Amino acid sequence: MTGSTHAHADAPHEPVFVGKVREQLDALFPKYPTKQACLLPALWMVQEARGWISPAAMAEVADVLGLTPAYVRGVATFYTMYHLHPVGRHFIQVCGTSPCHLCGSDDVLKAILKATGCGELGATSADGRFTVVEVECLGACGFATPILIDDDFHDSVTPERVAGILARYP
């Protein structure tokens, strides 16, 4: 589940739901009374495979679940964790909600924006390595400041620890 695949918005769409991924989805169907209930899991599978969810991938999801592409888009846009645009090789989420803000999350965010070369929130660094976003409460307020890099959770991050942590994500 890493954001390591770097796809381009204009590349032709290679189907996601073939082979292993298709088997993964098929194994989910019996767990729900409707196919539609597999929509969030299916979108996760696309993101895991491709790093983001393109309009063509949404159309494919619609097709395998018997929904319309517009419906799938309507749902995908509701949830902030789905990337509807390509992002950097490593996706960094930094908590900025009040409990973490009280403990200095602003400084952590600044240090991360600087060290990654992203400069601003939501932007991808020129080398394509990082995208940084500020997110709301990560449910780990006692371990401020928590950050997520791809699927790895790091707690008690301070500006001083930023360089060492980022070095693990080439």
Partner 1 sequence: MGYPHPPHPKETVVLSKYFGDAEARTFDGWVKRGGYEALKKALGMTPDAIIEELKASGLRGRGGAGFPTGLKWSFMPKNDGKPHYLVCNADESEPGTFKDREIMRWTPHQLIEGCAIGAYAIGAETCYIYIRGEFTEPWKVMTAAVAEAYAKGALGGNVFGSGKRIDIVLHRGAGAYICGEETAMMNSIEGKRGNPRIKPPFPAQAGLFGMPTTINNVETLSSTSHILTRGAAWYKGLCLSNPKSTGTKLFSVCGHVMRPGNYELTMGFPMKDLIHDLAGGMRPGRRLKAVIPGGSSVPIMTAAEAEAALCDYEGIVEKGSMLGSAGFIVMDDSTDMVYEIWRLAKFYAHESCAQCTQCREGTAWTTKILERILRGQGKKEDLDLLLDLSDQMTGRTICVLSDSCAAPIVSGIKKFPEEFEAYLSRAKAPALAAV
Which residues sit at the interface with partner 1, rule CB under 8 A?
Answer: 1, 31-34, 36-41, 43-44, 65, 67, 74-75, 78-82, 93, 96-99, 101-103, 135-144, 148, 151-153, 155
| Residue recorded with tokens 């990337």 | 83
Under rule CB under 6 A, residue 102 binds ligand FES: no
Return the number of the residue (122 or 153) whose C-beta is nearest partner 1: 153
Q: In sequence order, what DSSP letters do the residues of 22-75 get, joined into one string?
A: HHHHHHHGGGSSSSGGGHHHHHHHHHHHHSS--HHHHHHHHHHHT--HHHHHHH
In the set 36, 97, 106, 133, which binds ligand FES (CB under 6 A)?
A: 97
Considering only the stretches 1-9, 29-37, 75-83, 93-101, report the one whose residues sit in contact with ligand FES under the rule CB under 6 A: 93-101
Under rule CB under 6 A, residue 16 binds ligand FES: no
Q: How far apart are the first and last CA of the chain?
A: 16
What is the CB neighbour count within 10 angstroms for residue 106? 15
Return the number of the residue (43 or 162) whose C-beta is nearest partner 1: 43
